[in-house]
Homo-oligomer: A and B are copies of this chain.
Amino acid sequence: MSDLSIYDRQGIGKPLGFGRKCALLIIDFQIGFTREDAFGGFNINSAITATGKLLGHVRPLGMPIAHACFIAPEAPGGIGPFGEKIPSLLTLTAGSPDVAFAPEVAPLPNEFIVRKQHASAFFGTALSSWLRANAVDTLLVTGCTTSGCVRASVIDASAHGLRPIIVEECVGDRAEEPHRANLFDMGKKYADVMPLDAVIAHLALADAA
């Protein structure tokens, strides 16, 4: 373990806190990511379960909910270099069983679907515009993988001027070390990392106010 105290000495990693209005973003909880022999592993399935619990709390509040899913095009060129690094992504075309949403966190009609072809749920999608049309300034982030699409989406959320709050038990990865390392990076630079219970308690309190 290297000495990470330099972050504190440089004043990096202050808390953001909640803004005026939250939305929930769920990233890539698709069947392929539930399977360790495909794209899954480590704590992804427990993160899906935890996200199902969070969904149960936010749906009654009328919070805007967005579900991102990765779908590769079949056209030549596909997803470019991303598909050369991870060739199996090219199997995730529309209609393949692995692209379906995991049932515990599947979208209801009237929830926003974000079809994406790259890691970030913001890149090449209308997510940012839709969040602004809903006056959202704070984004609860869940999904997988922590070191992949979650990290990319959190960087973009911050760059777009949104406050990202990562719900800790609700993000998962295929291996523990990248999961931990990326929670560290994101918590220092772009987002707050909060336990599920604290998020639920905050929302209940805000809703009662």
Give the distance in Å from the alpha carbon of A41 to the alpha carbon of B5 in the complex: 11
Fill in one digit per residue for A2-38: 1 if any B CB lies within 8 Å of its CB, else 0. 1110110111111010001000000000000000111
- Asked if B76 and A64 make an inter-chain contact with CB atoms under 8 angstroms apart, the answer reads yes
**Is A201 engaged at the interface, CB distance under 8 Å to the other chain?**
no
**Is A129 engaged at the interface, CB distance under 8 Å to the other chain?**
yes
Q: Interface of A with B (CB < 8 Å)? A: 1-4, 6-7, 9-14, 16, 20, 36-39, 41-42, 64, 66, 73-82, 84-88, 109-113, 115-120, 123-135, 137, 147-148, 151-152, 155-156, 158-164, 174-178, 181-182, 184-185, 188-191
Counting from the closest, the 9 A-B pairs by CB-CB distance are: A132-B161, A80-B133, A181-B181, A124-B126, A2-B176, A118-B159, A75-B112, A77-B133, A2-B177
